[in-house]
Amino acid sequence: MPFQNRPNRGDEVVLVGRSNVGKSTLMRELTGHSFDTGGKPGVTRQPNHYDWAGPDFMFTDLPGFGFMSGVEEGHREQIKTDVVRYVEENAEDILAGVLVVDGKSVIDIIDRHQAKGDIPHDVEMFHFLQEVGIDPIVAVNKMDKVDDKDERLNDLCDRLGLYPPWQQWQETICPITAKTGSIDTLEEALADRFHEAKRDELLQFVS
């Protein structure tokens, strides 16, 4: 069943990504509101929307896709289909699509899928956002666990089809650690999107 009950809000920022990369933790940091999180992948099965009484705007944490322990493949594929459909149907209202990845494991996961001849989910989602007219932001989470930060981010740019060095893509590639509240780079990128959309009144949510 497709996702139901989208709040009657115009513009939104969506968080997309694999299960267990920290989307719900990031959502908490962005909104100041707690959502169900857990070490077990697949905790979020329906979108978590968070809006405010005044502005015509909301943040949406979409369910994680990809492998989930204890979740059958058919259900995993349905979740991914529902995520894609939601983004397609609401693309005109999405100010930013934030692809959240695990900085520690994302390169290994991408390379493993490519070695099997598959299109990695993260790469596929990045290009999908572009195809539907959404300028993606990649929130590279858990960077506190990464020693070779610049090398890792350069490798990620390479896998996504962006020319390294990563520093020239700072409105697209945002190293963060949501668990410790270190999300300044993402907030700056979102602020740029809000300004471009002439929604400067939303800057209060990322400052």
pLDDT digits (tens, 9 = 90+) for 158-169: 999 999 999 999
Q: What are phi and psi of 114, to 5 degrees?
A: -65, -35
Alpha helix segments (H runs only) across the chain: 23-31, 73-90, 106-115, 121-131, 149-160, 184-196
Token pair recorded at residue 95: 């100010």
Q: What is the pTM (predicted TM-score) of this model?
A: 0.92
Model confidence band, residue 58 (pLDDT cutoffs 50, 70, 90): very high
- 149-160 vs 121-131: helix crossing angle, rounded to 10: 60
Q: Which residues contact 153 (CB under 8 A, 6 or more apart)?
A: 103, 140, 166, 173, 175
Encode pLDDT of 78-112 as tens digits.
Answer: 888 899 999 999 999 999 999 999 999 999 999 99
Give the mean pLDDT of 53-60. Answer: 87
CA neighbours closer than 13 Å in the CB half-sphere of residue 132: 21
Contact between 137 and 171 (Cβ < 8 Å): yes
Q: For each of the domains in the chain, give its residue range(s) and CATH number, in order of start.
A: 19-206 (3.40.50.300)
What pLDDT is attached to residue 1?
47
pLDDT-above-90 percentage for the chain: 71
